[in-house]
Amino acid sequence: MIWNPQRECATRKEYDAIKLEKLKATVHLAYNNVPFYRKKFNEIGLKPEHIQTLKDIEKIPYTSKDDLRENYPFGLFATSMDNIVRLHASSGTTGKPVVFGYTKKDMETWKENISRIACQAGCTPTDMAQIVFGFGMFTGGFGLLQGLENMGMAVVPASSGNSERQLMFIQDFGPTVIVGTPSYVLYLGELAREKGITRDQHKLRVGMFGGEGHTAEMRQQIERVWGIECTENYGLTEVQGPGVSGECLEHCGMHINEDSFIYEIIDSNTLKNKSVEEEGELVLTTISKEGVPVLRYRTKDITSIDLSPCKCGRTSARMSKIKGRTDDMLIIKGVNVFPSQVESLLLGMPYIGPHYELFVRRQGYTDTLEIKVELLDATLLDSYQELEKLTKKIREKVKSNLLIDAKITLAAPKTLERFENGKAHRVHDLR
C-alpha cells in the first residue's frame, strides 16, 4: 500500500517544481521572521530573491548544531508561541538541548510523513504497533504514535524499559509491528528467548527501527530471535524527528519524503557539494516547516542518495544506510574506523553475542583499541584453550580488515550493559 501515490510516485520534474516553490517560501519565512537567518544572509549580501533555482540553495550558509544551541530556547522560532502546539528537544548529552516547536500544520505534515514510512514498511491500518521508543521530549515516541494512529493502526505506547511488561503486552495484546531502536528490540528478543517465549506465542511480523543504525549482521540476529521482517527509518529532531525517510520491503535504501526535505551531500572537510550519489555528509533543509524552519542543516550523518525508481513503485530518492556520523568516526593510529565496521566483523562470528563495547585510549603517543565482546555461551569459559583460540581469531579478523591490532577482551554472557532506555552507547573514547 502506498500512502500518498501522488507525492511518492511523482516524476523528477514534479519533485523539482514542488521543492523549488516550497524552498522559496521557506527562505522568505526564515529571512523575515528569524533574526539568526537574516543576519547570516545579510553578512554575505544574500537576499531571499536570489534563490531562483534549486541549485541556488548552495548560496545559503550552513546551519550547525552549535548555531541551534546558541539560540536556546526559542531563538529560531519563525512564529509566535500562540501558533505552536508542541515542543520537543534534542537529546544533547552535554549542555543545553536544542528546542523545536511545531505548529498545527507541522503536526499534520509529520503525521503524513510517518504514515508514508509505515506503509513503506509494509504496515496496513489493520496492524497493531507496540512502540518501545521513549515518550517525552525525544521525538521517537510521540512522533511515531501520531503518524501510526493517523494511518489507522492500533498503537500500544509501551515506551522504553520495563521489559517484562513489554513481553506481556506482546504475548497478550498481539501487536504485529514493533517500533523502537534496534538495540532494544534485540534485547527484548533475547529476554523473550530466555523466558521460553516461542514464535507461536506472539504475532509480531514487522520491525520498524530507527534512532540509531544497525548492521546487516545485527538485522539477521533480530530476524532470528523474533522471526520478523526488519525495516529501518531515519530522522532527527533538528528537522522534524522520525519520518525523514523510511525503508520499503525491497530493502534498497530509505525513501526520503522529498516534499518536506531537500537533501544535499557535502564533503565535510572542504564543505563543497558533491554529487548526491557520492558518499558524504547529509545536509537537510526543511521545506514544509512553519514553526522552526531549518536551512542547510549539517546532520553529520554519512550516506549517499539513489535517484533511480524503486521496484516498489515509489520514485522518491532513497538514502543508503547511515555509515556512521562524522563525529563517531574513530581515528586510531591514523586509521579511520566507524563503530559499525567493528560491529559487522564481530556479529558475523560464532560464539559471540550482539553486545560489544569499544574503548579507545591513548598510551604515551599511541592510540589503543580494546574491543570487549560478550560470549553467547558460558560453557566456553571453562576452556582456557577455546577462549584463547577465539580471542586470537577475533584479533586477526580485526587486524586484517581494519588494520588495527586491537586488544580483545571476552566477557561472560550478560555482563555488558544493555540499553533499555534509549539508544545504545557502545563507544568509549577515553583519549
Q: Which residues bind ligand DLL (CB under 6 A)?
A: 90-91, 133, 139-140, 210-213, 232-237, 241-242, 299, 301, 322, 325
Q: Which is nearer to ligand DLL, 127 or 367 (CB)?
A: 127
Buried-exposed string 127-156: b where 16+ CB fall within 10 A, e elsewhere = bbbbbbbbbebbbbbbbbbbbbbbbebbbb
Report the run of H or E that residue 155 belongs to, with start and end. Answer: strand 154-156
For residue 161, give the amino acid letter: G
Cell 524499559 identifies what position? 161
Q: Which is nearer to ligand DLL, 61 or 136 (CB)?
A: 136
Could you tell me which residues come within 8 angstroms of residue 308 by beta carbon, excluding any fewer than 6 positions away?
none
Question: For ligand DLL, which residue has the nearest CB?
Answer: 210
* Shortest separation between residue 324's beta carbon and ligand DLL, angstroms: 8
Cell triple for 222: 533480530
* Shortest separation between residue 253's beta carbon and ligand DLL, angstroms: 11
Q: What is the DSSP code (8-state) at residue 291?
A: S
Q: Which is nearer to ligand DLL, 49 or 279 (CB)?
A: 279
* Shortest separation between residue 206's beta carbon and ligand DLL, angstroms: 15
Q: Which is nearer to ligand DLL, 99 or 408 (CB)?
A: 99
Report the run of H or E that residue 428 belongs to, with start and end. Answer: strand 427-429
Q: Which is nearer to ligand DLL, 37 or 234 (CB)?
A: 234
* Shortest separation between residue 142's beta carbon and ligand DLL, angstroms: 10
Nearest Cα neighbor of 208 from 230, 184, 176, 235 is: 230
- Adjacent-strand bridge partners of 241: 236
Q: Which is nearer to ligand DLL, 286 or 368 (CB)?
A: 286
Cell triple for 341: 565496521
* Shortest separation between residue 200's beta carbon and ligand DLL, angstroms: 29
| Distance, CA of 9 to CA of 44 (rounded, Å) | 38
* Shortest separation between residue 429's beta carbon and ligand DLL, angstroms: 16
